[in-house]
Amino acid sequence: MNTQTRERDIAELSPGGWVLWDSTSPLEQAGAREDVALLGIPIARMCIEEFDNPRERILLQNMVYAGAVTALLNIDPEIAAAFIDERYQRRARLREANHHAFRLGEEYAREHFAYPLPCRVEPLEGTLDSIIVDGNTATAVGCIYAVATVAAWYPITPSTSLMDAFSAFSRRYRRDPESGLTTGMIVQAEDELAAIGTVIGAGWAGARAFTATSGPGLSLMQEQLGLAYYTEVPVVLFVVQRAGPSTGMPTRTQQADILAAAHASHGDTAHILLFPGDPAECFDFAVRAFDLAERFQTPVLVLSDSDIGMNDWMVPRLRWDDSYTPDRGRVLGAADLEGVAEYHRYADPDPDGVTARTLPGVSPRAAYFTRGSGHNRLGGYTEDPDEYREVVDRLARKHAAAARRVPEPVVERRPEAGVGLVTLGSGGPAVREAAELLRARGVAADWMRVRGYPFDAAVHAFLDTHEICFVVEQNRDGQLRTLLLESGANAAKLGSVLVYGGVPVSAGEVVESVLTRLRRREK
């Protein structure tokens, strides 16, 4: 809370709440809320009096606040003390200063307020099998386990920490024990065009390669995503969405790149999308993304958002099955090619429309020429209408086949619910809570969180079995709804709840919006 926004923060508080604030400078409208308790601590003044170093006078204000909160919520002070010891274990002076500031806040709260408050924090065993992690870190761990060896990127908020984490993990897990050299290559590119181009080159040559970006970077990668789609090169792209359009609000969250991702590039293109709902799924879907990209030989875009990517979430402990083997898809090695009279890149599709690829440097019989220009099933240049259509029609079949392989939706049903709430990504917890709250308001609602595109049959089944569904998503234009309509959903039965101010959606917003729309329908 700072002096610029604190009056606004107080105005937003629920009745009966408490405001812990720095009373060094007085509030302009001190009496504005009589239904909340104002707990003022002169934090800035205390720090000026207690510390000489100007930097410490500023930074340690947070620790005074933390000490006060610990006292007021009756948190075991030993836990906080252990945290400070761990955090500053190598810096004795800072450690002592932090302990001191913490105690100042604790003592002030005890002396001046009735503590603890009626709400308090206690350790429980319910979270023993959970961890706290952000989505970008979890994604990076997933990339390590998916055995990605090439990463190319250009710094952009809020995806940067993903590659920072991958770099850090690579120092430990991409190390050749004999030479000490690295078994991974991370290229900080000159721009996003170079980042995606490098990933395409590496994927074409047989490495598991990925990049991470946010809205503006996705725009810059469009042309080459079309190249990878048309030439059928595996690519994994993590899009940590922020508020657009243009530069937008880089540190705010949105889900407004869904359509730009689904049809990235000019011409007829359709990509495979994954929508992780929390950091645990970021880990899981990172691995699945590489498997899907190689199985279908195409870009897979994993769309998280700033809320999932940058914020710490409590999620179930990440687990790994040691029997996992990467799905490298249809790749012919030297031995496979021995029996092949003549190899052609885009001939002989499997039932999913996938053809066999070869990697450079493997066999003299493997060569083919990859071109983003019109090509026929043999890989040769063509402008013949039938030859051209044969290839692009197969690409459409291939994309449709991916619906059976993307993660199925998460669905929670109640008896006789006529209303369905549909969401994706970080909207999950709020929509789940909204379904609960709606029951208290007399509306039985099921909910579904979509996790992949093209849509699994279960997604359409959910829509078909409800009188009305509302798509809850964080963008202005109803992009997920548009994608559902494009995939055959009935527009008359599909409404929208749109929350796009740049902050995560709340259950209350969803409930009010749904009730308003239901009332409108009844009229």
Partner 1 sequence: MPSIAKPPVRHPALPVNELGLTERDYEGPMSTLCAGCGHHSVTAAIVRALWEVAVPPHMVAKLSGIGCSAKTAAYFLHGAHGFNGVHGRMAPLATGVAAANSELLLIGISGDGDSFSIGIGHLVHLIRRNLRMVYIIENNGVYGLTKGQLSASADVGSTSHWGTAGVIQPIDPMLLGLSLGATFLARGFSGDKVQLVPILKAATGHRGLALIDVISPCVSFNDHEGSTKSYRFTRDHDVHGTETDFVEPRPAILAAIGREGITDLTLHDRSRVRARAVPQGYDPTDRDAVGAYLREAHARGEVVTGILYVDPSRPTFHELLGVVQRPLVAVPYSELSPGSAELERFAQS
293 binds partner 1 (CB under 8 A): no
Output b/e per residue, 212-233; b: 16+ Cβ within 10 A: bbbbbbbebbbebbbbbbbbbb
What does the alpha-carbon distance between residue 102 and residue 84 come to, in Å, rounded to a whole number? Answer: 9
295 binds partner 1 (CB under 8 A): no
Smallest distance from partner 1 to CB 285, Å:
16
What does the alpha-carbon distance between residue 65 and residue 70 come to, in Å, rounded to a whole number? Answer: 9
202 binds partner 1 (CB under 8 A): yes
For partner 1, give the closer residue by CB, 144 or 422. 144
224 binds partner 1 (CB under 8 A): yes
Among 205, 314, 347, 491, binds partner 1 (CB under 8 A): 205
Residue 494 sits at φ, ψ, to 5 deg, of: -125, 105
- Environment class of 244 (CB within 10 Å of its CB; exposed 0-12, middle 13-18, buried 19+): buried
Neighbouring C-alpha atoms within 13 Å toward the C-beta of 330: 18
For partner 1, give the closer residue by CB, 193 or 401. 193
Smallest distance from partner 1 to CB 179, Å:
6
Residue 294 near residue 208 (C-beta atoms within 8 A): yes
- Environment class of 444 (CB within 10 Å of its CB; exposed 0-12, middle 13-18, buried 19+): middle
- Environment class of 157 (CB within 10 Å of its CB; exposed 0-12, middle 13-18, buried 19+): middle
Smallest distance from partner 1 to CB 320, Å:
4
Q: Which window, 114-122, 359-367, 435-443, 472-480, contacts partner 1 (CB under 8 A)?
A: 359-367
Residue 207 near residue 328 (C-beta atoms within 8 A): no
Residues 423-452 that bind partner 1 (CB under 8 A): none
Residues 30-49 that bind partner 1 (CB under 8 A): none
247 binds partner 1 (CB under 8 A): no
Site string for partner 1, 322-341 (x = CB under 8 A): x-xxx---------------
Edge-to-edge strand ranges of the sheet holding 445-450: 410-412, 445-450, 419-424, 468-473, 494-498
Q: Which window, 2-10, 90-98, 99-107, 372-380, contacts partner 1 (CB under 8 A)?
A: 372-380
What does the alpha-carbon distance between residue 71 and residue 115 come to, in Å, rounded to a whole number? Answer: 7
162 binds partner 1 (CB under 8 A): no
361 binds partner 1 (CB under 8 A): yes
For partner 1, give the closer residue by CB, 18 or 368. 368
Residues β-bridged to residue 446:
420
Smallest distance from partner 1 to CB 259, Å:
22
Residue 500 amino acid letter:
Y
269 binds partner 1 (CB under 8 A): no
For partner 1, give the closer residue by CB, 154 or 455. 154
Among 174, 330, 399, 451, binds partner 1 (CB under 8 A): 174
Query: Can you give the C-alpha Rg of the chain in angstroms?
Result: 27
191 binds partner 1 (CB under 8 A): yes
For partner 1, give the closer residue by CB, 145 or 500. 145
Q: Which tokens sit at 97?
A: 């200063």
Among 41, 63, 97, 195, binds partner 1 (CB under 8 A): 195
For partner 1, give the closer residue by CB, 29 or 325. 325
What does the alpha-carbon distance between residue 404 and residue 387 come to, in Å, rounded to a whole number? Answer: 28
Secondary structure of residue 367 in the 3-state scheme:
coil
What does the alpha-carbon distance between residue 257 and residue 263 come to, in Å, rounded to a whole number? Answer: 10
Q: Which window, 4-12, 79-87, 101-109, 186-194, contacts partner 1 (CB under 8 A)?
A: 186-194
For partner 1, give the closer residue by CB, 165 or 421. 165
81 binds partner 1 (CB under 8 A): no
193 binds partner 1 (CB under 8 A): yes
Residue 240 near residue 389 (C-beta atoms within 8 A): no
For partner 1, give the closer residue by CB, 123 or 245. 123
Site size for partner 1, by CB under 8 A? Answer: 70
Integer CA distances (angstroms), 227 to 19, 96, 151, 215, in order: 55, 57, 18, 19
239 binds partner 1 (CB under 8 A): no
What does the alpha-carbon distance between residue 74 and residue 441 come to, in Å, rounded to a whole number? Answer: 35
Among 95, 100, 103, 371, binds partner 1 (CB under 8 A): 371
For partner 1, give the closer residue by CB, 189 or 472. 189
**What are the contacts of 311-315 at 24+ separation with CB within 8 A?**
311/134, 311/135, 312/132, 312/133, 312/134, 313/132, 313/133, 313/134, 313/135, 313/278, 313/279, 314/127, 314/130, 314/131, 314/132, 315/130, 315/131, 315/132, 315/133, 315/138, 315/278, 315/279, 315/280
144 binds partner 1 (CB under 8 A): yes
Among 27, 44, 318, 400, binds partner 1 (CB under 8 A): 318
Q: Which window, 60-68, 371-379, 466-474, 475-483, contacts partner 1 (CB under 8 A)?
A: 371-379
In SS3 terms, 484-523 reads as HHHCCCCHHHEEEEECCCCCCCCHHHHHHHHHHHHHHHHC
Among 87, 268, 320, 490, binds partner 1 (CB under 8 A): 320
Smallest distance from partner 1 to CB 126, Å:
16
Q: Which window, 58-66, 117-125, 193-201, 499-507, contacts partner 1 (CB under 8 A)?
A: 193-201
Smallest distance from partner 1 to CB 170, Å:
10
Nearest to 21 by CA among 49, 8, 40, 37: 40
Binding site for partner 1 (CB under 8 A): 131, 141, 144-145, 147, 149-150, 152, 173-174, 176, 179, 181-187, 189-191, 193-207, 209, 223-224, 227, 231, 317-322, 324-326, 358-364, 366-373, 380-383
